[in-house]
Structure 1
Amino acid sequence: MAVTPMLEQYLSIKKDNPGAILFFRLGDFYEMFNDDALIGSKELELTLTSRDAGKDNRVPMCGVPYHAASSYIGRLVEKGYKVAICEQVEDPREAKGLVKREVVRVVTPGTFAEGSAFEGQNGYIACIYVGKEAYGFAFADISTGEFFTTQIEGANCAGILADELYRITPLEIITAPRQTAWLKESGIFDRLPGIYRDETAERFFQYDNARNELLEQFGVVSLEGFGCSEWPLAITASGALLSYLRETQKHAIPQILKLSSYQTSKYMYLDSSTRRNLELTRTLREGDYQGSLLWVLDATVTPMGRRLIRKWVEQPLINQAEICKRHAAVEALATDNQARGDLRMALDGVYDLERLAGRIAAASANARDLNALQLTLSRLPSVISILG
C-alpha cells in the first residue's frame, strides 16, 4: 500500500523499535499512529482522530503536546509500556524535503527518571545473569546514580536471589534472551508477578564485553577497586545492565560514577515471607506504607534521608562494629536537643540533591532544578557548622 512520505518515515522508525509506543515529533506535538494510537487513546484518555495516509487511506492518530509529554510518558511506563521518543533532529527551515527524525531515547519503567512518584524511595532497574549454581545480580537507579552488584552462590542461591528481588522491588528486570525462559520456570519471579521484564542483546552478556563496558564507564584498567574482580557473573550482569542503559538512553550515563559491590552474607538474611510478616515497609493485609515499621521510624526531612532509612530497615547490619557506629551517631543527636533541632531546621526545605545532580550530569536539568540546587547548597554551611 502506497503511503505518504511522512508516514513512510514513521513506519521505518517504528520497524526499528518493535514493542515500543513511538512518540513521533510533528511540530509542537508527539503523535501516535495505528495500533500505538489505539493504545494511547485508551490508556491516556486522548481523542482518537485519523490522518491521511495516501490513496484515500486514513490511519488512526492521537497526540500530546511536547511540553507536557513527560507526564503522559510517565503514565504509560507506569502501566508497563515502553516508549520510544522520536525527535526532529534538524531545523525544519533548513531541511531539504522531509525533516530528518530519529529516536533519541527509549523510556522503560526502570529508566523513567523524571517522575516524582518515587520521591523518598529508589526506582531500580535490575539485571540477572545465570551461572552454574550461582547468579550475577546488578541493579541501578539512574535518577540517583546508585549502582550495586553482587554474586550469589550456594545451594540456596535461587531463594536468596528471589528474596533480594523482593527486597529492592525493581521497576524492571533485564535478562539474557536464552536465560529468560529458565528464570521464569524457576519461580524466581513468582513473588513479584507484576514487574516489567525485558530482554537485551546476548552480546551484552558476553563477559569481555561486559567487563570492557564497566572499565570504560569508570575510566579504569581494573575492577579490583570495586570489590567484584573475582565475581565474573556479577561483572557480566553489571556490564550488561550498563549496556542496556546506554542503548535505551542513546548516550553515556554520566551520573553513574561508581559500582558498589556487596555480599548478602554481610547483612541479616530475611526471606520475603519474614519481611511481609514483620511489615517492614508495607502492611501485611493491605500492602500500605502507613502502619509499617518504616512509617513509624521515618521522621526524616529530606528525600535522601528517607531513602537511606528505608535501606537500613530493609537490609539490617550484623557486623557489631558497624552497628555500634550507627548507635553512636543516633546517641549523639538523641542526647543533644539543640543540635538535633537546629539540624532539622537547616535540612528542612532541602531538595533531592542526588536526583538534582543526576539530572544535571545527564544534561536534562531545567531552570527549576538549578534553582533548587542553589537553595540546597545554600543550606550546607549551616549543616556543616552544626555537625562540627
Structure 2
Amino acid sequence: MLEQYLRFKEENPGCLLFFRMGDFYELFFEDAETVARAVQITLTSRNPKDTNPIPMCGVPHHSVEPYLTQLLDKGFRIAICDQIEDPREAKGLVKRAVTRVLTPGTVVDDSNLRAKGNNFLGALFWDSARNAGGFAWIDFSTGQWSGLHGRREPELWQWVVKINPRELLLPQGRKVPPQFSELASQVTGVAPTTYFDPGVSARRLLEIQGVAGLDSLDLGDKPELVCACGALLAYLEHTQKCPLTHLGEFRPVNLGRHLLLDEVTERNLEIFRRLDGRPGKGTLWRVLDRTMTPMGGRLLESRLRQPWRELGPIGKSLDCVDFLFSRDQMRGELRHALDSVYDLERLSTRAVLGRAMPKDFVALRRSLPMLPKIRVLLEQGGPETPPDLKRLLGKWDDLTDLAELLESSFVDSPPPVITDGGLFRKGFDLVLDELIELHEHGEDRLAALHRRELEASAIPKLKLGFNKVFGYYFEISKAFKGQVPDHFVRRQTLVNSERYITPDLKELEERIISASEERKALEYRLFQELRERVARSRSRFLFMADIVANLDYWQGLAEAARVNDWSRPELHDDLDIEIEAGRHPVVEDAMGHSSYIPNDLRMDRDKRILLITGPNMAGKSTVLRQVAILMIMAQIGSFVPARRARLGLADRVFSRVGASDNLAQGHSTFMVEMTETARILRQATQRSLVILDEIGRGTSTYDGLSLAWAVVEELSTRARGGIRTLFATHYHELTALEGRVEGLRNLNIAVKEWKGDIVFLRRLVPGPADRSYGIEVARLAGVPRPVVDRAREILANLEEKSQDDHLKGAVERVSQTVLPGLVPGGDSVCDHARSEAPAAEHPVVSQLTALDLDGMTPIQALMLLNRWKEMVKE
C-alpha cells in the first residue's frame, strides 16, 4: 500500500496526496505533517513502535470538503486518489487512481467559491521575439472564458492585476515583474514546451470549440493568445482528468466596446475594495449590489469591470431598469421569486463533470419551479415592456420536464453520501420501491408469513425466530403431537423444540438480507443516470441562467435606484458633462441621504479642465471621485445619484488620487504618483475622463508646482482641444492659469469662518479658494494649541517673504513658460533683479513704489504680477 502511495506521490509532484483507505483519506510522511499543522488535526503514526515511525493523519471521506477548502485557501495543490474498484471484489490490493487534482483556480464546489464572484484561472504568454503577448482567463466552475492580445507587456500585466486570477500559469522560469509582485503567490510554473506549444495549443482549442479554423474565434492573427488558451486547456486536462465539454464559447475582449478601467482606477475609486484592501461596506459594488442570485451578482461584477461605451446596450439596460424601477410591486414579487433560484451555472457544471451531489439536485428542484412564476410575472408588463425584455420572454424555457423529473425523484433531505441509499422517493422506480419495502418493512412481511402458516397449519404455538447460524426459522414445541406440514424442513433439534424452515421463509430471508445492498446499488445507478440526463440539458440551463442573470441585474439596479433616490442619466456622443445635485453614492451610503450636500458640475468645450481648490477635508476628493463614479454607473446601464445627469460617453476613466507608496518595490510616494501620472498622460484620449488629486505634493514646492503646471498645460493641448479633467490642488498659484490656459476654469469648495472656526459648506462654487486653511484643519484634528499658534506665526512670516520675492520678480522680462519665482538658467528672481534693475522711468516702478504690501493677499499679488508682466512685454 505504501509503495502504491509513493508511486502516486511521485506522479503528482507539488501536491498533497489524499489517499483513500476505506472510509478515510490518509496522508503520510511530509504530507501528513504539513496537513496536520495547516488544518490542526492529530498527527499519528503508522508504526509507532519502530525507530523511524511513519507520520500519518487522515480525515473521513464524507467530511473532507472543509479540510480541502482550508488547504486550497492556503495555496496548496491537492491530488485526490480514490479507490476505483469495490474492495469486496478486489483480489489483493484495491486498485486506486488519482481522479482529479484540486488547485485554487480549478475548484467547482461551493465551499471553495464566492457565490457572487468569479474564480479565475489565468495564463499569460509573452513572445519577446515578436514583441507580443496574450493573457487568457477561465472560470472553470461556470465554463466562461475570455482573453486579450497585446503589444505592450505592462498592459497585459495590468489586466492580470485587474482580473486577479486565483491561480496564474506562467512558463517555468518566468518571473513576475517587480511592480506586480503581489501576484507572485498566485503563480504556478508549467513546462513551456508542454503547455504553451503553439501547434498543440491550436489543435486543443479547435477541438474544444468545435470549429475548423482559428479565424472563427478571432484568433487567426493572435498566436500568443492561442498559446495562453492552450496552456489553460492543457492544465485543466491534466488536473481534472475528464473531458472539458462544459466550456463555453471563447470570446476575446473587444476593447473598443468597453469603457476601460485600469487596476489603479479600480483601486482609487474603491469599486470592489476599499483603499485598505478590504471588500464590503465602503465600496461601490456593495452599494449597487441588490441582486438575489449568484448569476446576477457575477454579472454586476463583470459589468463594473468592463462597462459599455456604446449607446445601444447602455440604452437597452436603462430601459429595463426604468421599467422595473417604476413598478414596485412587480419588482418586489420578482425579488422574492429570484431569491429561490440557486446557481444554475455551477450546478449544471458539476452535473457535467460528474461531481453533482444529491444536495445539488435538491437546489435545482427548488429553483426550476420559479421560472414559470417569473415568466408569468413579467408578462403582466403589457405593451410597456421594453424590447429587450420581450425578446427574453419570447425565448423563455420553463424547463418543465426537468422540474417534474427532479420533483418525482429525490427525497427532501437526501443523505450526503450517494452510495448509502435513501436518495429517492417512492414511486420513482418500481423495482426500487420493492427493495425499499423489503428493506424498511421486512419484519412486517415476516409477520404476515408467520400468520399465514399459523392459519394453514393450526399449530397453536408456532414461533418465528432468528439466529446468525441458521437465519430465520419456525420453532415448534415437542409438546405438539399433530402432523407437521410437509413443506416444513427440519434444521435443528433442541431439548424442548424443533426448528424448521420453509421455501417461502428462505426466499423471503434472502430477499430481506440482500435488499439493503441491492437498494444501494440500484439507487447509485439511478442517480448516475439522472445526473447524465441533467448534464445533457446543460445548454438549456446555461441559456436560462443567462436570462435570470440579466433579470436579476436589472432589478438589482432598479432596487438600488429606488432605495437611494437615483435618477435615469442621459448619455450622448458629445463630450459635455452636466450634473445637477450630484452625490457620491458610497459616501452618501455612509453618511445618510439627509446629511449629504449635493453639488452641480458642468464641463464643456469652454470648461474642459476644472481646477478645484479648497482646504483639506472640504470635499475636493469626494467631488472628483463622484464624477468618475457617476460616469461608470451610467455606462453599466444604471441610474445615478443626481437630480439630473447628462453625460458624454467616456472611453477610459483615469484616476490619480491620494498618497501611497510601495516600499517593497522601492517606490516612494512621489514615484508612485509620477508613475500613475505618466500612464494617464500617455494613454488618455479626447474621450477620456481624468481625475487628478494633488499632483506634485510628494516633492519640493517648486518642483511640485512646476510638474503640476506642466501637467495641466499638457492636458489642455492633448487630443485636439484638451482632455476632460478634474484637477484638485493646493497650489494656489495654478489658479492664475484661468484665462491663460484654454478651457481651464477655477472652482473651489466653499468654507466659512465663524467665530474663529471654519465651517465646511461642502458646496462647489466658481472661482479660486482664498487660502488653504491647513492650520485650522490641523487644529480640528487635535494638534496641540502651542504648535498651531507657532505655525500661524511662521506662516505669516513666510507669506510676507514670499510676497516680497514675487513682487521683485515681477519686473523681469521672463518667458511665459517660466514659473513665478524662477528665471532661465535656474537663478532666483531676486538675484537676477539685482544684476539687471529695470529703468526708473518704467510705469511698473512707480506702481511698485506706491504699493501697500500689508494690505495685499497672495492671490492679489499674483494677479498684479500677471498684469505687470504684460506691461513689461510692451
TM over 0.5: yes
AA partner of residue 238 (structure 2): E
SS in 2 for 1:210: helix
AA partner of residue 202 (structure 1): T
Which of 228, 234, 237 matches 1:243? 234
Which of 284, 305, 315 matches 1:324? 315
AA partner of residue 146 (structure 2): F
Contact 1:41 1:62 in 2 (8 A): yes
1:42 aligns with 2:37: yes
1:133 aligns with 2:114: no
Q: Deviations over 1:139-180 (max 9, x none)?
A: 111111111122122xxx2232222122221110012225x2
Alpha-carbon separation, structure 1, partners of 2:217 and 2:331? 35
Q: Deviations over 1:296-330 (max 9, x none)?
A: 01111111111111111122221222222222222
AA partner of residue 28 (structure 1): D
Alpha-carbon separation, structure 2, partners of 1:287 and 1:135? 31
SS in 1 for 2:64: helix
Alpha-carbon separation, structure 2, partners of 1:54 and 1:238? 52
Contact 2:134 2:156 in 1 (8 A): no
Superposition deviation, residue 267 in structure 1: 2.1
Q: Relative to structure 1, is the Cα distance of residues 20 and 255 closer, same or farther in structure 2, using a 3 angstrom cutoff? A: same
Q: Relative to structure 1, is the Cα distance of residues 192 and 56 closer, same or farther in structure 2, using a 3 angstrom cutoff? A: closer
Which of 330, 344, 359 matches 1:353? 344
Alpha-carbon separation, structure 2, partners of 1:369 and 1:21? 27
Q: Which protein shows a greater Rg?
A: 2
AA partner of residue 9 (structure 1): Q
1:293 aligns with 2:284: yes
Aligned residue in 2 for 1:14: 9
Between 1 and 2, higher relative CO (CA 8 Å, sep ≥ 6) is seen in 1
Alpha-carbon separation, structure 2, partners of 1:159 and 1:320? 30
Of residues 376-385 and 291-300 in structure 1, the stretch that sits farther from structure 2 once superposed is 376-385
Q: Deviations over 1:113-143 (max 9, x none)?
A: 1133411101111011112332211111111
Alpha-carbon separation, structure 2, partners of 1:87 and 1:359? 18
Root-mean-square deviation (CA), in Å? 2.0
SS in 1 for 2:53: strand
Structure 1 spans left out of the alignment, 5+ residues: 1-5
AA partner of residue 165 (structure 2): P
Which of 96, 100, 106 matches 1:105? 100
Aligned residue in 2 for 1:146: 144
Alpha-carbon separation, structure 2, partners of 1:260 and 1:293? 27
Q: Relative to structure 1, is the Cα distance of residues 371 and 24 closer, same or farther in structure 2, using a 3 angstrom cutoff? A: same
Alpha-carbon separation, structure 2, partners of 1:137 and 1:286? 24
Contact 2:135 2:160 in 1 (8 A): no
Alpha-carbon separation, structure 2, partners of 1:374 and 1:201? 45
Aligned residue in 2 for 1:263: 254
Which of 247, 252, 267 matches 2:243? 252
SS in 2 for 1:197: strand
Alpha-carbon separation, structure 2, partners of 1:59 and 1:375? 48
SS in 2 for 1:110: coil
Superposition deviation, residue 206 in structure 1: 1.3
1:217 aligns with 2:208: yes
Alpha-carbon separation, structure 2, partners of 1:386 and 1:176? 52
Superposition deviation, residue 191 in structure 1: 4.3
Aligned residue in 2 for 1:3: none
Alpha-carbon separation, structure 1, partners of 2:14 and 2:220? 36
SS in 1 for 2:46: strand
Aligned residue in 1 for 2:190: 199
SS in 1 for 2:181: coil
Structure 2 spans left out of the alignment, 5+ residues: 380-874
Superposition deviation, residue 351 in structure 1: 0.5
Q: How does 1:119-198 map to 2 (within 5 A)?
A: 119-131=115-127, 132-153=130-151, 157-177=152-172, 180-181=174-175, 184=176, 186-187=177-178, 189-198=180-189
TM-score scaled by length of structure 2: 0.42
Aligned residue in 2 for 1:63: 58
Matched residue count: 376
TM-score scaled by length of structure 1: 0.91
Identity of paired residues, percent?
39
Aligned residue in 1 for 2:79: 84
Superposition deviation, residue 101 in structure 1: 1.6
AA partner of residue 307 (structure 1): R
Of residues 256-265 and 26-35 in structure 1, the stretch that sits farther from structure 2 once superposed is 256-265
AA partner of residue 240 (structure 1): A
Q: Relative to structure 1, is the Cα distance of residues 382 and 223 closer, same or farther in structure 2, using a 3 angstrom cutoff? A: farther
AA partner of residue 147 (structure 2): T
Q: Deviations over 1:312-360 (max 9, x none)?
A: 1122221222222222222222123233223212212210111111111
